[in-house]
Structures are given as structure tokens and as C-alpha cells.
């Protein structure tokens, strides 16, 4: 048998991404004798295939030339974990002059590197962002030559430090909302239990004003929630200076938003508005103005807390556990019930306007409240209500009860943890028959009742808690 000469293979760990989850990819490089060639194999897409010329240009700009040999680059799953923490994974976009540009998913890459006990080489401006992914060694580098000098001891790249969190300023306070005691009460219940809420009222009645004050009633994100939300914003390229997000996000897309903009997808399968609202609030104003397809796309995430984006080669899942808040006029003209202002097409106007909102979508909305405008002449006579921080304290206490009892909010749980008083059970049974509640509608009625009981610091759900929850059910749609 003839002798075999084994050629050395250099291995570099990097990552591909499915949603916000990192997938290890081992880049294997082998240089052998033969006709000069630069070959990339391993199901590389067009962008990766074109990197051959970027690599050549970057090395030439540094005064380095590739050897006139056969260079083979293979992209493979990193199924062999290397020992030791002195190895690094690497991510970044190499430009023609050797500069390493920013990429999305840096936090997820850092998490992936931490799982296989590696450090991470990343773009210089994303060093602070990478630190959020775990307690690992981070080498942020502005360009390839700086990285080479760092490893040869000619230059020491700076060690990044954690940035202070991003705290969104919200100066909107409930004290500015005069009157509207029932809608404000509904907003408090929705905040306390994470319930979905639809507000119906004529233009200028205060629906958007109320919705914009909901974030001020919500507590800060937990550390785990903060990491989840921050990873999503990192994957979308929306993270500000690598700062962690600690406040619940509030997303309010325009009604012209497409289904892809809402749920995610597109050429690069980016997260949509529902994922950017993860652990926060998604507010859809003028709900019937959204396309029917866009509204129907909300069914899955409202039930499961995630969205699956179908791609040609794979299915990508993004987290999407958001609190759904919506507002709408009672009809297209907006003045249904106001004989002095309603249009001549009543009631057809209202029927056509609300047709896009299907029964299944309405069945997934926990609470519906009517917002009645206050005449301007009476506004100055109405005393100011409570400040947001007072209501927020009650919301915080109610949420802590839920987490202690069932490890999740009432909107996410099942009837097993509800604990109804005997008299309340009878009212629930009667109501379920009378207004023809679906199984889902019944569960949501009970969960809202449980939240009202938590706000009242009651161990059991009493009759008054059920009757108040019933006042927020949309009976017309239940019968459709």
C-alpha cells in the first residue's frame, strides 16, 4: 500500500440562525496542492458563495495574498465540541477592505458560543451587545488586521463593558384621562392579568389615549423576559447601542401593515410586529381597517405565544407572547347611535365595517369595553383620577399573586387554578348557556374573573367578580 499524506484542516466555529436560535456551523478550511482554486461547499447560499471574492479583496488590502493552491472551504454542523475555552467562535460581515461590519443575532451567537464553551469574535461596535449572551470572553474587532495583530501580540483589543439598560421614557399618565371610569377599570384588569382588550367608541372618545397609557401600568420585565426581548430586537437589527431592554415593548403598527409586517417573514425571515411586542403590548388602532388576512394571521400567536414562518427549506419560529389591545369605531362613519351625526347607511355601515373581524378572532379577545366620549363642557368639571403609579402598584401585586399561584399570568393559564365559589359556579353555568359561550370563551371569562378576584385580594372567585367579567364579553359576536 502506498503512503497517505494527511493534510491539516483548520476549523473555525460560526453560527447560522433559525429565528433567534443559533445553529453551530463548523467552517473547515483545507489547502492542498493542485490547480489554484477557491471552492466553498456545504449548501452555501449565494451570499456565502460570493464571499470568496470579498475574502480575496480583504486579504489583498492587508497586503496578504492567498497561496496559489487549491483552497477548499466546507460548511458543516459542528458536531464535535473542542475542549478548552481558548477557542473562539466568530461572526461578522467582512468587507472588501477588511473591515468587519455589524450583523444581526449577535446576542444569539454569544449564547451559542457559551453553550459550547467558546469565546466570541464579533464586530467592534457590537461587543457590548455580545456580552448580554453570557459570561464568556468577547473579542470585538473593527477589522481583520486588528484581530491578527491581537492574536500575534502586536495589539490588544479593548474588553467591552455592559451598557446600562434601555429605559423607554413614558410620561403618559392615567391622571390625564378625565372620567371614563369603566374603560380605565377595564385597562387595569387587562394589565393585571395580561388580557386582550378591544375598545369600541366614536372618533375622539379617548381609545388611543387609554391604550398609550397601558405600558405605564406594567412592571419591568424579568431578567429572562428581558433577554428574550433583547434577543429579538438584536435579530431584527433594532437594538440600541447593545443596551438590554427592561421595559415591556409597545408596538402600534399602522393599519396598512401587511401580514408579513405583522407576523414576520420576507426575504430574510425577520421577526414581525407581534414578535417585537413579545412580553409587551401590540396595539392595533382602527382594527377593521387592517386586511382580513392580517387579522386572521393573529390566531396562532394569540393561542400559542409563538409564530411559525414557513420558508422553502425550513420553518422558523419566533416567540410572540404579547398582550393584544385594539380599538375601533362602531361603524365606518364612526357615529353609530348618535342620531345627529350617524350616516344614512345605518345599520349596513356597521355590518360592513366589522365584517373583517371574524368570530374566531373575537372569541380570542378576553374583554370588550365601550368608550363613550365626554362632552367638552363637562371635562373641566370632572376631578382628576388616580395616577398611573398607584394603579401600577395594584397591578404588580395582582401579578405577583398569579405567578406565585400558577407560575404564569391568568391569561395564560387554564381553569384548574381558578377556585370558584359555589354561587359563582351557578352564574357561570347560566351565562355559558344564555350567551352561548364557546369553550374558549368560557375559559377566557373565567380567567378575567380570576384577575378581578386577584385585584380584590379574594382567594375565591365570587359572584361579583363573574358578573363584572361578564360585562366585558362581546355577546353579539358570541352568537354569530
Together in a domain, 141 and 182: no
Q: Is residue 401 part of a domain?
A: no
Together in a domain, 197 and 280: yes
Task: Take residue 423 and report the three cell numbers written for it.
Answer: 354561587
Model confidence pLDDT, tens digit, residues 405-422: 999 999 998 766 678 888
Asked which of 50-54, 82-86, 196-200 is least confident by mean pLDDT, the reply is: 82-86
What range does the domain containing 121 cover? 9-151
Per-residue b or e along 458-472, where b marks 16 or more CB atoms closer than 10 Å to that residue's CB: eeebbbebbebbbeb
- Non-local (6+) Cβ contacts of 281 within 8 A are 211, 214, 215, 218, 248, 249, 250, 251, 322, 323, 325
Range 248-252 average pLDDT: 96
Q: Is residue 405 part of a domain?
A: no
Range 31-59 average pLDDT: 80
Together in a domain, 298 and 244: yes
pLDDT level of residue 359 (50, 70, 90 thresholds): confident
Q: Smallest Cα–Cα separation from 349: which of 183, 474, 198, 202?
A: 202
Taking the model in full, what pTM does it have?
0.85
Task: Take residue 212 and report the three cell numbers written for it.
Answer: 398609550
Together in a domain, 234 and 371: yes
Q: Is residue 165 part of a domain?
A: no
More confident residue, 84 or 371: 371
Q: Is residue 166 part of a domain?
A: no
Q: Which of 77-86, 199-208, 369-378 has the highest mean pLDDT?
A: 199-208
Together in a domain, 82 and 47: yes
Together in a domain, 235 and 282: yes
Together in a domain, 133 and 49: yes
Q: Is residue 320 part of a domain?
A: yes
Q: Is residue 455 part of a domain?
A: yes
- Residue 373, pLDDT score: 85
Task: Take residue 118 and report the three cell numbers written for it.
Answer: 467558546
In 286-373, which ranges are E strands? 306-310, 315-319, 323-328, 367-370
- Residue 229, pLDDT score: 96
**Mean pLDDT, all residues of the chain:** 86
Q: Is residue 169 part of a domain?
A: no
pLDDT exceeds cutoff 60 at 79: no
- Residue 312, pLDDT score: 62
Range 466-480 average pLDDT: 72
Beta-bridge partners for 200: 328, 370
Range 15-37 average pLDDT: 87
State the helix-helix crossing angle for 439-455 and 181-193, rounded to 10 degrees.
100
More confident residue, 29 or 83: 29
pLDDT level of residue 290 (50, 70, 90 thresholds): very high
Where among 83, 118, 151 does a domain terminate? 151
Together in a domain, 250 and 128: no
Q: Is residue 158 part of a domain?
A: no
Asked which of 67-81, 144-158, 250-264, 382-396 is least confident by mean pLDDT, the reply is: 67-81
Range 81-86 average pLDDT: 40
Together in a domain, 223 and 107: no
Together in a domain, 378 and 421: no
Share of the chain above pLDDT 90, in %: 48
pLDDT level of residue 248 (50, 70, 90 thresholds): very high
Together in a domain, 126 and 93: yes
Model confidence pLDDT, tens digit, residues 130-179: 999 988 999 999 999 999 999 888 888 888 887 777 666 677 899 988 88
Q: Can you give the CATH number for the domain in which 52 is found?
A: 3.30.230.10
Greatest Cα pair distance, the chain, in angstroms, is 103
pLDDT exceeds cutoff 90 at 367: yes
Q: Can you give the CATH number for the domain in which 449 is found?
A: 1.10.8.60
Q: Can you give the CATH number for the domain in which 217 is found?
A: 3.40.50.300
Together in a domain, 147 and 178: no
What total number of domains does the chain contain?
3
Chain position carrying cell 385597562: 187
> In whole angstroms, how far apart are CA 179 and each of 104, 188, 205, 216?
46, 15, 11, 18
Beta-bridge partners for 14: 25
Amino acid at each position: 500500500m502506498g503512503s497517505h499524506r494527511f493534510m491539516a484542516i483548520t476549523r473555525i466555529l460560526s453560527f447560522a440562525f433559525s429565528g433567534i436560535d443559533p445553529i453551530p456551523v463548523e467552517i473547515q478550511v483545507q489547502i492542498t496542492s493542485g490547480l489554484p482554486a477557491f471552492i466553498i461547499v456545504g449548501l452555501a447560499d449565494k451570499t456565502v458563495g460570493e464571499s470568496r471574492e470579498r475574502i480575496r479583496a480583504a486579504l489583498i488590502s492587508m497586503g496578504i495574498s492567498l497561496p496559489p493552491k487549491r483552497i477548499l472551504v466546507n460548511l458543516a454542523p459542528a458536531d464535535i465540541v473542542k475542549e478548552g475555552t481558548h477557542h473562539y467562535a466568530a461572526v461578522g460581515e467582512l468587507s472588501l477592505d477588511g473591515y468587519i461590519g455589524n450583523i444581526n443575532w449577535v446576542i444569539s451567537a454569544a449564547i451559542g458560543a457559551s453553550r459550547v464553551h467558546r469565546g466570541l469574535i464579533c464586530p467592534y461596535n457590537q461587543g457590548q451587545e455580545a456580552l448580554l449572551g453570557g459570561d464568556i470572553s468577547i473579542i470585538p474587532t473593527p477589522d481583520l488586521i486588528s484581530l491578527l495583530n491581537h492574536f500575534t501580540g502586536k495589539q490588544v483589543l479593548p474588553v467591552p463593558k455592559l451598557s446600562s439598560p434601555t429605559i423607554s421614557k413614558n410620561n403618559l399618565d392615567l391622571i390625564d384621562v378625565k372620567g371614563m371610569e369603566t374603560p380605565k377599570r377595564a385597562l387595569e384588569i387587562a394589565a393585571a392579568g395580561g388580557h386582550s382588550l378591544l375598545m369600541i367608541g366614536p372618533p375622539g372618545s379617548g381609545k388611543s389615549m387609554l391604550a398609550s397609557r397601558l405600558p405605564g401600568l406594567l412592571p419591568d420585565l424579568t431578567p429572562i423576559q428581558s433577554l428574550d426581548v433583547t434577543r429579538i430586537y438584536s435579530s431584527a437589527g433594532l437594538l440600541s447601542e447593545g443596551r438590554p431592554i427592561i421595559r415591556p415593548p409597545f408596538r402600534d403598527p399602522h393599519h396598512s401593515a401587511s401580514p408579513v409586517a405583522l407576523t414576520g417573514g420576507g426575504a430574510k425571515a425577520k421577526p414581525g410586529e407581534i414578535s417585537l411586542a413579545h412580553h409587551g403590548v401590540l396595539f392595533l388602532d382602527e382594527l377593521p381597517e387592517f386586511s382580513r388576512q392580517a387579522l386572521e394571521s393573529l390566531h396562532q400567536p394569540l393561542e400559542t405565544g409563538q409564530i411559525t414562518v414557513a420558508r422553502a427549506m425550513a420553518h422558523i419560529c419566533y416567540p410572540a407572547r404579547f398582550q393584544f389591545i385594539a380599538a375601533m369605531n362602531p361603524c365606518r362613519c364612526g357615529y353609530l347611535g348618535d342620531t345627529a351625526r350617524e350616516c344614512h347607511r345605518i345599520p349596513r355601515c356597521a355590518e360592513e365595517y366589522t365584517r373583517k373581524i371574524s368570530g374566531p378572532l373575537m372569541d380570542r379577545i378576553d374583554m370588550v369595553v365601550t368608550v363613550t366620549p365626554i362632552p367638552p363642557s363637562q371635562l373641566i368639571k370632572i376631578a382628576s383620577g388616580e395616577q398611573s403609579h398607584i394603579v401600577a402598584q395594584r397591578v404588580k401585586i395582582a401579578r405577583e399573586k398569579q405567578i406565585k399561584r400558577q407560575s404564569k399570568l391568568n391569561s395564560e393559564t387554564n381553569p384548574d387554578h381558578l377556585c370558584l365559589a359555589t354561587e359563582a359556579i351557578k352564574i357561570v353555568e347560566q351565562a355559558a348557556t344564555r350567551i352561548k359561550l364557546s369553550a374558549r370563551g368560557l375559559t377566557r371569562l373565567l380567567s378575567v374573573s380570576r384577575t378581578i378576584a386577584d385585584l380584590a385580594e379574594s382567594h375565591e372567585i365570587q359572584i361579583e367578580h363573574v358578573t363584572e367579567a361578564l360585562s366585558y364579553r362581546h355577546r353579539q359576536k358570541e352568537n354569530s
